[in-house]
Amino acid sequence: MTQRVLFLCPHGAAKSVLAAVYCQQLARERGIELLVNFAGTEPDTAVAPAVVQLLQNEGFDVTHFVPHRVTGQELIEADWVISMGCELDELGVERAVIQWDDVPAPSQGLLVARDMIGTHVEAFIDSIS
């Protein structure tokens, strides 16, 4: 059975997108069946252009990705919820959430944020495989 992981960041436009892309790639490489999604609590209308460009340079096409507000149903259905700076109290869903609050805002250093997310994703995939 395919397991689900949901990545959250406030705007659903940068950190959660990076995490979702890297997690899906690493899971695929390791033969782990994961359904990976991303969302925000206050979503932007589009993925951050710098993130789109960075991922395109790395061979990933995210031009079809659209940030959306996380739903209670998504939180319930996910086997893992990983948050990078989101407050989920207002959604009224009680559940365990993995916090990666040490990831800096991409606007303050996109490559640093990317590398930190990559490190976290690798540790996460190691922990579930």
pLDDT digits (tens, 9 = 90+) for 91-104: 777 788 999 999 99
pLDDT at position 87 is 79
Percent with pLDDT over 70 in the chain = 99
Q: Which CATH architecture has domain 7-128?
A: 3-Layer(aba) Sandwich (3.40)
Q: For residues 2 and 4, what is the distance between their CA atoms, to the nearest angstrom?
A: 7
105-111 CB contacts, 8 Å cutoff, 24+ apart:
105/14, 105/15, 106/14, 106/15, 106/18, 106/48, 106/50, 106/51, 107/14, 110/14, 110/50, 110/51, 110/54
The predicted pLDDT at position 86 comes to 87
pTM of the model: 0.95
The vertex-77 CA angle with 129 and 113, nearest 5°, equals 60
Summarised one tens digit per residue, pLDDT across range 45-73 is 999 999 999 999 999 999 999 999 999 89
